[in-house]
């Protein structure tokens, strides 16, 4: 059985924190601009954050800037999303994947997602 790509989701109160993990098997993150996306019920999937292969250059959607931090460990083939000061509107299924290019808000999704629910 193939392990899930994304993990770390759960139920948290508003103001709390969660760390999501993206650990794809069968694919390598090295060489890719990696990103996180999310899809809330009844809404389209949207871009959240992305990080270049250098692990330094990143960009975020305005709605999560200064609250979320994306990071990566190429040696572990893993990408993280540290989410702080969570709000009910952050409730969504979160996906990771490779961006089309640095600066793009579009990408290819690699997993089935992990559910994040923020209660008020």
Distance, in Å, from the CA atom of 12 to the CA atom of 18, rounded to the nearest integer, reads 8
Q: Taking Cα atoms as reference points, which of 61, 64, 42 lies closest to residue 106?
A: 61
Tokens of 19: 């760390």
Q: pLDDT tens digits for 61-88?
A: 999 999 999 999 999 999 999 999 999 9
Q: pLDDT tens digits for 30-44?
A: 999 999 999 999 999
């Amino acid at each position: 059985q193939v392990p899930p790509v994304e993990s770390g989701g759960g139920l948290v109160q508003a103001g709390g924190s969660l760390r999501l993990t993206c650990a794809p098997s069968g694919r390598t993150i090295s060489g890719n601009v990696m990103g996180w996306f999310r899809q809330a019920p009844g809404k389209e999937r949207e871009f959240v954050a992305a990080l270049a292969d250098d692990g330094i250059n990143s960009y975020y959607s305005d709605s999560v800037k200064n609250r979320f931090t994306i990071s990566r460990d190429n040696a572990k083939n893993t990408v993280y999303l540290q989410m702080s000061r969570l709000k009910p509107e952050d409730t969504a299924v979160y996906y990771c994947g490779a961006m089309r290019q640095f600066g793009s808000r579009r990408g290819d999704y690699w997993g089935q997602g992990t559910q994040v629910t923020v209660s008020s």
